[in-house]
Amino acid sequence: MNKDDYLEYIEIDQAKRFGKPTIKGTRITVTDILEMLASGMTQAEVLDEHPNLLAEQVKAALLYAANQLSGAA
């Protein structure tokens, strides 16, 4: 997945979650996904807990965060 791919899954809307990057069509933020994974949840557990999420959206959140940290976004 490259930058163009992950941007199709991430949106920033000031009216949603105070403008935090979220997964399009949800109120789940990139931070929510990162925190779930950091707490020890597997991707499969995240997807089980949030059946409206797709594996590609979780990957997009990770890539978005990585690009933000590297200054590439």
* Per-residue DSSP letter, 18: G
Predicted confidence band at 55 (pLDDT cuts at 50, 70, 90)?
very high
Q: For residue 24, which phi and psi values (nearest 5 degrees)?
A: -55, 140
For position 65, what pLDDT does the model report? 94
Q: Which of 62, 20, 28, 27 is nearest to 43 (CA)?
A: 62
Predicted confidence band at 72 (pLDDT cuts at 50, 70, 90)?
low
For position 9, what pLDDT does the model report? 95
Please tell me the pTM assigned to this model: 0.87
Domains, the chain: 3-70 (1.10.10.10)
Helix locations, 1-73, DSSP H: 3-7, 30-38, 43-49, 55-70
pLDDT digits (tens, 9 = 90+) for 18-50: 999 999 999 999 999 999 999 999 999 999 999
